[in-house]
Amino acid sequence: MPTLLALETSCDESAAAVVCNQTVLASAVATQMEEHARWGGVVPEIASRRHVEALPHLIEQVMAQSGVSYQELDAIAATAAPGLVGALLIGSVTGRSLARLHGKPFLGVHHLEGHLCSVQLGDPLPPGPYLVLLVSGGHTEMICVDGPGDYTRLARSRDDAAGEAFDKVARLLGLGYPGGPAVQAAAASGDSKRFSLPKGRVSRPEGGFHPYDFSFSGLKTAVLRLVNQLRAEEAAGGEPFPLADVAASFEQVVADVLVERTTRCARDQGLKTIVMVGGVAANHRLRARLEERCQALALEWRVAPLAYCTDNAAMIGVAAEQRFRAGAQSSIELAVTPRLPLEQAPVLYEPQAPF
């Protein structure tokens, strides 16, 4: 049963965890969100500096909490791609230095593989294959998982990711960054049926619409138009701006579109289990909608535990453990890269570092 120390620094959360046998012995996350909030989004230079400050403390904390010594570790892992290069480098260099210092194997991990593995920290999964809906700040994808490391992408967003749509709409509504939790809070008391918003279909060159792909940029524009209209009405002495209803209507259409297309894809592909992971999977309305539709369609479903939806290092540890058990390790020279398709994750374990 391998025990690993894992680090995650791909964006604006610094995180460390110790995992053993797909179980979290200790996990700590330091968010930088407040610092980025005043700029309305993540500032890469600030992110890197904060990772440098936070990571040593987080590592110390999880090592102490887990009661595991460096000698007892079987490997050390860090996110290697995709993400902000400067931010990724802090985790990678720290992980590789510790690995060299303590004579342990090092594993670079694909961030999205981490998100896929986050569901393993919850209730046991039925036998695969699964259709995974990955919804984060940078990605909205449906991936068929046939087994560990065996991925086929079946759909994606053609423009904004779902999380990005939440972040942009939050800004339009004056709710700040990060948008997801803020929109969710504002929507809680709203009427989700009040405003009808577009579901963003992707047309095909040969005619008709792509059955599964997403597009969220039109939705964002529709919300902008609606907000302008409602604010004008308010300024002319009409109803006060109905923030809760706008937020709830937006949240509902995102949940509907994600769940409708994913369940249709599962049905068409003969997949019996839907798995949902990523930061947006923390959304209550989306979780409830998925549960409701899967129950109605007699599909199995699993959602990553709330604590492991947004970025964390426990999921990176679980992904690394899976690769390590299969005999993989990375070159100690492995650096980082801002973009790497999930299907190319195996290059991280080539004897010659690809970057």
**Per rule CB under 6 A, is residue 137 in the interface with ligand KG4?**
yes
Using the rule CB under 6 A, which residue among 91, 149, 178, 190 binds ligand KG4? 178
Say if CB 300 and CB 273 are below 8 A apart: yes
From the list ligand KG4, Zn ion, none, pick the one residue 114 interacts with, judged by a Cβ distance below 5 to 8 Å according to partner type.
none
Q: Name the residue with tokens 């994600």.
A: 258
d(CA 310, CA 315): 10
Q: Is 181 in the site for ligand KG4 (CB under 6 A)?
A: yes
In eight-state DSSP terms, residue 198 is -
Q: Which residue, 47 or 75, has its beta carbon nearer to ligand KG4?
A: 47
Give the CA count within 13 Å in the CB-facing half-sphere of 245: 12
| Candidate list 282, 303, 316, 319; residue touching ligand KG4; CB under 6 A | 282
- How far apart (Å, rounded) are the C-alpha atoms in residues 2 and 22? 9
Other C-beta atoms within 10 Å of 141: how many?
22
Q: Determine how many CB atoms are found less than 10 A away from the CB of residue 184.
A: 20
The piece of 177-185, 208-216, 217-225, 264-272 that touches ligand KG4 (CB under 6 A) is 177-185
* Partner touching 184 among ligand KG4, Zn ion, none, CB below 5 to 8 Å by kind: ligand KG4
Question: Is 136 an interacting residue with respect to Zn ion (CB under 5 A)?
Answer: yes
181 binds, among ligand KG4, Zn ion, none (CB under 5 to 8 A by kind): ligand KG4
Question: What gap in Å lies between CA 19 and CA 22, rounded to an integer?
Answer: 6
- The backbone torsions φ and ψ at residue 249, rounded to the nearest 5 degrees and listed phi first, read -65, -40
From 116-124, 144-152, 211-219, 280-288, give the range in contact with ligand KG4 by CB under 6 A.
280-288
Residue 294 near residue 287, CB atoms below 8 Å: no
Check binding of 44 to ligand KG4 (CB under 6 A): no
Tokens read off for 188: 């809680």
Query: From the CB of 179, what's the least distance to ligand KG4, in Å?
Result: 5
- As measured in angstroms, the least distance from the Cβ of 278 to ligand KG4 is 5
What is the binding site for ligand KG4 (CB under 6 A)?
11, 136-138, 163, 166-167, 178-181, 184, 278-280, 282-283, 310-311
